[in-house]
Structure 1
Amino acid sequence: MTPRHALAAIAVAVIWGANFVVIDAGLHDMPPLTFVALRFVAVLVPAIFFVKKPDARWRDILLIGLFLSLGQFGLLYLSLDLGMPPGLASLVVQVQVIFTVVIAALALHERPTRRQQLGVLIGLVGLTVVALGRTAETPLLALMLCLAGALSWATGNVVTRRVGTSSGLSMTVWSGLIVPVPLFALSLLVDGPEAVANGLRHIDWVTIGSTLYTAYLCSLFGYGVWNSLLVRYPTAVVVPFTLLVPVSGIATAWVFRGERPTLGTVIGGLLLLLGVLVTAVSRRRRPRPERDGLVSNPGEVFTR
């Protein structure tokens, strides 16, 4: 990988890692589901007028959006709103790589290699250590919602793998169509019209900045750059950069939130990341780039 592309991969990982603190900052006066709806309005407009619709059936586009966008981010934002520390969240969601391998084995009958099986086992042990080592300030419900978000993400990865769409960026944009209206309606039902109206009425620059950061830097810029790197280089060269995401997330939370990881989080986190690394780069032969950079192995997924 050239130095310029390596710097681009590092930049995307840092942006994605800081994303969790940025989301948490924007949640202070905004109902979480309304906040997700706003994020995807920003993803859709104006991009949907310039990005061609992906070569896939509408049913598949909406199904991918249901898991990769609505489910993943709806559950993540709820988790952060309920008290999930953003640094810890950036670590826990990496378990989606392991979940993807397991779901692909069950749904697509893609038998994982022995090395992937070992990676799954190591990762699950690490996740267990993280869960047991969490502090009292981390509610169990928030942790479970974060894991549910990772599970939704993994399910979306497998659906995307089955569909075999030809454009990752266009799928990111067009699959987002399913997010704003259902989540806004659900927020009205759960949070109440008054809370939603109050959040929108008193929206400030922190919330606006958080929305723009997550929509344009994380979703559009980050995904576009990452997908282009997967086109140019073997996945085993690109995927390890995702291990910088929780490093960036934990460091950002430490600097801006004073969130210091516990010993259990450190030990469990290292085991989890080791499991992710073993699982993600387990191919024995040089992987060939798929169309427009989509991965060809359920373990070869990334954070966005």
Structure 2
Amino acid sequence: MSVKDLLLALCVIVAWGVNFVVIKVGLHDMPPFLLAALRFALVALPAIFFVRPPKVPLRWLALYGLTISFGQFAFLFLAINLGMPAGLASLVLQAQAFFTLLLGALLLAEKLRWHHIAGIVIASGGMFLLATTAHGVQAASGVTITTMLLTLAASLCWGMGNITNKVIMRNGSVPVMSLVVWSALIPVGPFLLCSWLFEGQAAIVHSLVHIHLQTILALIYLAFIATVLGYGIWGSLLSRYETWRVAPLSLLVPVVGILSAALLLGETLSMRQVGGAIVIVFGLVINVFGGHLKRPRTVRA
């Protein structure tokens, strides 16, 4: 990966790390399904009037929108709304890297080498260290089997969306921004339907009539920075590199997520959390650069 693309990936990582804090703020005064519906409505409108629709089969566009947009954020917003801490949510969601690698191997016949597996194992150790420091991210107050399963379901949907993106790009050159904007139309209807069924008309009307400035700012961030810019850049990287080069970089997102939660939400960091972050970075380095390591040659007598 070139230096330019690596810097772009790091910008996306920072945006997505802070994204979890913004979600937490947005959910203070708005129910999750309505917040998600407005997020993707802002992504699609008015951009669809200026961006041409992608030349892809409707079934692939629908699958992309239903996995990486509707599925991922329906589960994630619901988990955070039920009490999942922002820092820990950013950590558990990165299981998408594992799902992406596994799906890439099973469906796209991409090879997994020793350094990919070693990097994942090492990074998993760092994730375990972070996850076991409950007092640092206030995990004990909101982590239940339900919220953990919801967040893992969100990560699975993200991984499926990554593979769908890869298939779409393999079948022809598709402008990334076109895919992001037009696929944002797909989840708006399902989110509004879920909001109507599970959150109720009264909650919808009250949230819209009494919307706060911080909710508006959260929606702007979620729509234009985390979605349009974030997924636009991420989709472009996935279309030009193997999934194992791009997906593992997202393991840095929880590091940013926990740090931003500490700075903006007052969540404290322990030494074990710092150690876990360092282990994750080391696992990432092994995963990405381990293939360049060569075994020492045997000197013949």
TM-score, structure 1 as length reference: 0.80
Q: Which of these two proteins has the greater Rg computed from alpha carbons?
A: 2
The one of 188, 198, 210 equivalent to 1:180 is: 188
Deviation readout 1:41-67 (Å, 9 max, x if unpaired): 000011111112122111100101111
CA offsets per residue over residues 264-296 of structure 1, 9 Å max, x none? 5545554445444544556669xxxxxxxxxxx
Measured after TM superposition, the shift of residue 19 of structure 1 is 1.3
Which of 147, 159, 165 is the equivalent residue of 2:152?
147
> Which residue type is aligned with residue 82 of structure 1?
L
1:208-287 superposed matches below 5 A: 208-225=216-233, 242=250, 244-262=252-270, 265-280=273-288
Q: Which runs of 5+ in 2 are unaligned?
A: 294-301
Q: Answer whether contact 1:76 1:145 (CA < 8 A) is retained.
A: yes
On the 8 A contact 1:98/1:123 being kept in 2, the answer is no
Q: Tell me the residue number matched to 2:203.
A: 195
Q: Distance in 1 between the 2:209 and 2:236 partners?
A: 39
- % same residue: 40
> Would you say the 8 A contact 1:239–1:280 is kept in 2?
no
State the AA in 2 paired with 1:160: N
Change (3 A) 1:232 1:271: same
CA contact (8 A) 1:97 1:280 kept: no
- Cα deviation for residue 107 of structure 1 reads 2.6
Shift in Å, 1:123: 3.6
Query: What is the CA–CA distance in structure 1 between the aligned matches of 2:66 and 2:10, rounded to whole Å?
Result: 29
| TM-fit CA distance, 1:142 | 1.9
Structure 1 position 136 matched with structure 2 position 144: no
With the length of structure 2 as denominator, give the TM-score of the two structures: 0.80
Contact 2:127-2:276 within 8 A present in 1 as well: yes
Q: 1:136–1:243: structure 2 CA closer, same or farther, 3 Å change rule? A: closer
How many residue pairs match? The answer is 285
Kindly indicate whether the alpha-carbon contact (under 8 Å) linking 1:133 and 1:263 is maintained by their aligned counterparts in 2.
no
Distance 2:228 2:260 in 1: 21
Task: Output one character per residue of 1:204-256: Cα deviation in whole Å (capped at 9) or x when no partner.
Answer: 11111100111112212334455677899999998887555333322221122
Find the counterpart in structure 2 of residue 47 from structure 1: 47
Secondary structure of the residue aligned to 2:64 is helix
2:114 pairs with 1:84: no
Alpha-carbon displacement from aligned partner over 1:158-187 (angstroms, at most 9, x marks no partner):
122122252222111111111111111112
